[in-house]
Structures are given as structure tokens and as C-alpha cells.
């Protein structure tokens, strides 16, 4: 489960490096993935 999150994060970071996504959207996507995978306990609202 955690490795799926890491794969998603690395894909998003690769897209960001190519200029497809702005940093804010990358952050939002990573937070969404954390919530989906149950790793959201350290994300503060």
C-alpha cells in the first residue's frame, strides 16, 4: 500500500519536473493519495 503511494508521488514529481503540473497541484494530488491509502493521519487541515 505504501509503495503504491511512493509510485504515485514519483510519477507526479516526474510530471512536475517536465512542467506538466504546478507545485500546488502536485501537493494536492499527493495529499489525495495519502487520504486514499490511509496515510493521512499526519496531514493537518
Alpha-carbon span 36 to 23, nearest angstrom: 20
Q: Does the global pTM surpass 0.85?
A: no
Helix (H/G/I), strand (E/B), else coil: 3: helix
The residue that leads in pLDDT, 45 or 6, is 6
Per-residue pLDDT reduced to its tens digit, 2-12: 677 778 888 87
Answer for the pair 10, 18: CB distance below 8 angstroms, yes or no.
no
3-state secondary structure of 21: coil
Tens-place pLDDT, residues 10-40:
887 887 777 766 677 778 888 888 888 775 4
Domain ranges of the chain: 2-12+19-42
Give the pLDDT of residue 30. 81
Amino acid at each position: 500500500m505504501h509503495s503504491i503511494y511512493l509510485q504515485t508521488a514519483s510519477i507526479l514529481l516526474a510530471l512536475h519536473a517536465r512542467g506538466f503540473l504546478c507545485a500546488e497541484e502536485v501537493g494536492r494530488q499527493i495529499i489525495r493519495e495519502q487520504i486514499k491509502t490511509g496515510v493521512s493521519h499526519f496531514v493537518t487541515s
